[in-house]
Every structure is written in structure tokens, then in C-alpha cells.
Structure 1
């Protein structure tokens, strides 16, 4: 009886939690956090924000260079007014699956996105992740193949795994390499059609892959190019329409996924499609059917954001963003610091050692700048980076101050190593 009571004291949920904590990755991350408590800048509690990217943490203002609201639309009066109108018209939420009904704002937002992009139609999901988890397995069958860039976003690879579970053949190919993609397609064996998944801008490096060459290989090998353009939508190419539409001469064999929560500063994700394919995705895409809708107020804001994208206001905002990117990249270069990317709002400084990246991030935080220290497993081991995200509403003085402070933080690390 005593043994039975002791066993019952340990609930299955407690046992499950303990077992998961023994997992190698969880153990590694917990140990890392424990051994660097003074450097760990995750799970921050943000108390307030301001129009110049100020962020209050523990009663102290720092300049936030970790936001992907690249155009500053999260503080834009037209977007805020659209949200208020949307709440007054629709309430907080419409609370029904889009398999049954869609509010008019949803229909209008999809039509406006399609017009802005110059595509036949679009389909909105609750997020980019749910777009990829739903669309990728819905687009292929057992006779098909899905290949993903080995550095592709986690949600692309998870969508590929769902397709694999449904019977499709899958695999990874070397990062941004058209010739290796051709080889991977040739070695995959017979398939009906292939879906090749890549990012438009890689979120940890800010780099753009050779999309025109990848598209050419896809056309030669009966494949469709699927581009997750979340970090490019609204900021890259003519009218901010993203990398795929900017770099692929004829995008008729390309599916483009965009974010509504980054440059648009709203909520959700979407995929470009034909009207026929849209009907199929509505039937076959489980995250669309079961994922719930985007709240209507945000759809009203998406419509307003599309209007901004086609107005002179977009030219003003994108001009400010381009100026700030240039200021930061040139400011770093003047101080002998090379960065990955450089032409996108994600400016990445390679540090290498994990502890060095964390320490540099903490030094910058103490100097009044929040940036993201990205370490394994988000990037390869010993390829840790400082991820600097530039917005249009960063002040020039803050951008210049960040460049100077990055140089100071990295200089301190080098001095410490020389002294050792």
C-alpha cells in the first residue's frame, strides 16, 4: 500500500516533464542559461514602447533593434485608426472557422494583397508558420517530392515533415545552391512533381538566395518553387513586393508566402495562388480549416497597410528604412566590422563563440541597445551572431550609436582574449 501511495504521488504529467527535461537539447539550453545568468536576455518583460523604438525593461529605456516591424507601421496613425474602426465594426473576434464563413474584411484583404502583388489571388492564414504547416502538405501527394533548403525556416521544414508523414518523399539540399538542388532532384528518383522550399530572406543572416537560378532549375526538373518571403514582404523590391517578384523574371511557377505581422505590423500570413488553387487549399489545408481566423480588426488594418504600400507614404517610409540600413552597414564597415546581408533590414554580425555573442549582447544592452544574440541551435554551433533589425522609425543618432557600440562591445571581447 505504501508503494502504491508513493507511486501515485508522482503524477504522469510530472514524470513526462522530468523525462522531457532529460532531453539533450533541453538539458543543454537549461545548463547554458544557468551558467550565464547575467548574459541571458531571453523572456524579457517589456513594460512600455514609444514611437522611436524605445523599449522599457526593468524601468529603463533601451533602443529596440530586435523588432521586425520594419516600416514602423505598428505605431502608424493610419494603422491604429484602422484597428479602432475594425473593433467598432466587428468587435474583438468573429469566432468561427473560415471553412464556414469569412468576414467581408477577409475577402477585401485577400483581394487587396493580390492587387498589390500583381497575382491572381491570395489566401490568408492566422500566421506564416500555419501557412507553411498547412499549405506544404496540402500541395503534394504520395507521388510527389518536397525538398527544403537546409537552412530554411523551421516552419518550412516542419511543413515538409507533415508532407512526409502523409507519404511524400522529402529531403534537404545544400543552402542556396542551384547546382546541388539540380543534383538532389536528379538523385531523388522518379516523382510526379516536386516542391522546392526556400526563404526569400534568410532570417538569421539577412541574405537573399539566387532565386532566378533556383527557379530555372525547378522549371527544368518539373518542380515548383515555394518562397517563404516573410522577412522581405513590404521592404524588398519594387513597391516592397518581396524577393521572389523582384528577382524571378517570370514568377508564374512560384508560390510566394508573405507575413502580415512583420513589415505590415498586423497579424497573419498568406500565400499567393490562383483562384483554382485557392479552392483546393481551402479544402485540403488543415491549418486553414482548423486554425481559426485572423481577428477582423487586423484584417481592416491589413487593407489599410495595402493602401499605404501603394501610396507616397510607402516611398517615405521605405526611404527612411533604406537610409537607416545604409547608416548602420557603413558605420560598421568604417569600424572594420563586416556583416552578412547588408541590403536588407536584417543586419547580421558574425561573432562565432556562443559566450562571446551573449556577452556582446549584454554589453550592448547595458549601453542602451537591445539586439538579439543568436546562438546554437538557432544557428550552427560556433557560428553565433548579433542580429540587428533596422526599422524606418529608428532615429539616425540611435543607428549611429549602435554601430559605435557594436564596435566597442566586440573590441572589449578582443582585448579580453588578448589579455588571456
Structure 2
């Protein structure tokens, strides 16, 4: 006999309760969800509508669906006029799915869910939200005291919305540092996914060790998550203000702990990354063609385990880059 360990059932119930859905299906990764669930949703005749700024894994899943016969359309982030034109074009198709990030992985921007949901309901489309970065960080009832919200239950709850026409995908490798991901949905949709999303049957399961770390992470979230997120926001604001004070163009409008510093030139990007590393700072480089030409950035991720002294060290390292006259091409 083949069966899932009991921890699966327990975690799926815990996550469902946290995000506020009827049910939840755990997969090993968000990538497996995208390449399995998206083709299952639209079959051979449906329409997938991709936000061009969305994560590459959604595009990979959409290409599989397209190769099976589905239609793939795309629109620029926040271009709701173009999105509505596409929805009108396919108004008679009953299998339409709009694909967006909840929190965009390079800028920390939030998807404009209120506008997306309004359009999706008008044209009877589903919204597939990849909230790999948002889950565990942003959540319900944001206030001045808790700008990221509470509970870390994701972008939908951050906006105080329901899941009527939303398929919510969360990743656990970011905030929870665990090899797991999930689809939060209705019980009916869970049954559909288990039956028709190929990776659910044919890929390997999550290691029990990873599920155990996720379980402990959820316990920590209950005990001290909101205070950790408050600290996280404060540290992020300190970093953003410090970098902007040095003249750097920082691509962050939300205070989410993804900070992209615009350099604008691949050669300078690599050179400054090495200089920062020599100062004890490891940044993620995003050169062309990972991003558009002239939009090369250093991507910095702040965690609640960081300290004010470490953030000050980061700012000081970037100041030394400026002193050595290896300046970004674009300055604020």
C-alpha cells in the first residue's frame, strides 16, 4: 500500500486555516505546481493570460499548456486596458486563467488584486496567484504599527479579499526555508488537482524533514511571527533609506524585504558585486539578459535574523563603492 504520512494531512489543514481556504494541496515546489496545475486548468482549449513580469515558472507551465493546444496571451504588469482587451477577445471561452505574482520577485511590488479581481469576475476568469515571496511575510490587517500585516497569510488576506475566483499558490522555501509549496483552494478544486495535475502523482514527495521544519516554522509564526515581521520591515526601511541617502536608485515602493539597487550596466554590476563581497556583503546579481538591458541590479534580501549593525555594514559597503567611483549609471 502507498500512503502519505500523517504530517501531510496535518500541514494541509494548518495552512488552509492560516490562509483562509477550504482546502490545500502540498507539492514539493512551486515549479511543479505551475507545470502541473496550469495545463490541467485550461486543457486543450482554454486560455492562459500571463503577466510578463510574473515568475518564469508560470511561463514554463504555460508553454506546456500551449503545446497541448491551449492559447497563451500576455500583458504588461498593471496594464489593465490590455488585459481587458484580451479578456474581451476570449470572452466566450469558459476556461480563462490570469497568471500573476502576488509579490514581484525583483522589486517587492504587490499585484493590484482589487483591479485584477474586478476584471476577472467581469469576464468569468480565474486568477492564479504565485505568492512564493509573499507567503509568510505579508498578511491580513496591515496598519502603521504592522505595515506588512499580521499572520503572514499572504497577498489575498493583505488586501482583505476572499478566494471566490482565486487559486492561491504559496511557497515555503522563502519565509519558512522548507522544501514545500501548496495550492490553497476549495475542496472540489483539491480533488481536481489531485486527479489531473501530473506532478502530484508522478513527482517525488516532500522529504519528511522539510515538512517537519515547515511545521516548526508555523509554530514559530503563531508565537512571534508578527513581531518578527515588524522587525523585518524596520530593517528593510533602514536599508532602503540608507542606500537612497547615498544616491542609489532603489526599486522598492512597498517596504517588502526585497531590495533591488539599480546599477544599469553588466560590467559595473559584476565589479561592484565583487567589491561588496570583499566587504563581507553577498548580493544576488541580476544582469542582462536576466533583466532588460540597462536594468541590471543588485538584489538584496533582508531577513528578521539580521541586525541593525549588519544593515549599517551593508550601507557602509555600498558607500565604499561610491567612494571608489564605481557609480551606478542611474541615480535618484
TM-score by length of 1: 0.72
Q: Distance in 1 between matches of 2:104 and 2:129?
A: 11
Contact 2:281 2:314 in 1 (8 A): yes
Q: Distance in 2 between matches of 1:269 and 1:125?
A: 5
1:201 aligns with 2:103: yes
Contact 1:110 1:124 in 2 (8 A): yes
Corresponding residue of 2:114 = 212
Which of 23, 38, 44 is the aligned partner of 1:121? 23
What is the deviation of 1:325?
0.7
Q: Distance in 2 between matches of 1:115 and 1:416?
A: 45
What is the deviation of 1:410?
4.2
Q: Distance in 2 between matches of 1:274 and 1:415?
A: 51
1:260 aligns with 2:162: no
Which of 249, 258, 265 is the aligned partner of 1:346? 258
- SS of the residue 1:186 aligns to: helix
What is the deviation of 1:413?
4.2
- SS of the residue 1:381 aligns to: coil
Q: Distance in 2 between matches of 1:164 and 1:229?
A: 23
Q: Deviations for 1:288-322, whole angstroms, at most 9, x for unmatched residues?
A: 111111011222222222222222x1123212211
Corresponding residue of 1:400 = 312
Q: Distance in 2 between matches of 1:219 and 1:416?
A: 43
Contact 2:95 2:125 in 1 (8 A): yes
Corresponding residue of 1:335 = 246
Q: Using a 3 Å threshold, how does the CA distance of structure 1 residues 179 and 413 change in structure 2: closer, same or farther? A: farther
- SS of the residue 2:228 aligns to: helix
Which of 153, 159, 165 is the aligned partner of 1:241? 153
Q: Distance in 2 between matches of 1:283 and 1:256?
A: 18
Q: Using a 3 Å threshold, how does the CA distance of structure 1 residues 398 and 169 change in structure 2: closer, same or farther? A: same
Corresponding residue of 2:194 = 282
Corresponding residue of 1:364 = 276
- SS of the residue 1:292 aligns to: coil
If asked which structure has higher relative contact order (CA below 8 Å, sep 6+), I would say: 1
Contact 2:248 2:328 in 1 (8 A): no
Aligned residue runs from structure 1 range 5-404, under 5 A: 100-188=2-90, 190-237=92-139, 238-247=150-159, 249-311=161-223, 313-342=224-253, 343-404=255-316
- SS of the residue 2:138 aligns to: coil
Equivalenced residue count is 318
- SS of the residue 2:324 aligns to: helix
Q: Distance in 1 between matches of 2:99 and 2:188?
A: 21
What is the deviation of 1:242?
1.5
Give the greater-gyration-radius structure (CA): 1
Corresponding residue of 2:142 = none
Q: Using a 3 Å threshold, how does the CA distance of structure 1 residues 400 and 104 change in structure 2: closer, same or farther? A: same
Q: Distance in 2 between matches of 1:248 and 1:170?
A: 30
Contact 1:211 1:248 in 2 (8 A): no
Q: Using a 3 Å threshold, how does the CA distance of structure 1 residues 340 and 283 change in structure 2: closer, same or farther? A: same
- SS of the residue 1:378 aligns to: coil
- SS of the residue 1:352 aligns to: coil
What is the deviation of 1:263?
0.3
Contact 1:212 1:248 in 2 (8 A): no
What is the deviation of 1:404?
2.5
Contact 1:227 1:257 in 2 (8 A): yes
- SS of the residue 1:369 aligns to: coil
Q: Using a 3 Å threshold, how does the CA distance of structure 1 residues 140 and 358 change in structure 2: closer, same or farther? A: same
Contact 2:263 2:327 in 1 (8 A): no
Q: Distance in 2 between matches of 1:220 and 1:252?
A: 13
What is the deviation of 1:120?
0.7
Contact 1:142 1:166 in 2 (8 A): yes
Q: Using a 3 Å threshold, how does the CA distance of structure 1 residues 319 and 189 change in structure 2: closer, same or farther? A: closer
Q: Deviations for 1:166-204, whole angstroms, at most 9, x for unmatched residues?
A: 221111111232222112222346412210000111112
Q: Using a 3 Å threshold, how does the CA distance of structure 1 residues 286 and 408 change in structure 2: closer, same or farther? A: same
What is the deviation of 1:414?
4.9
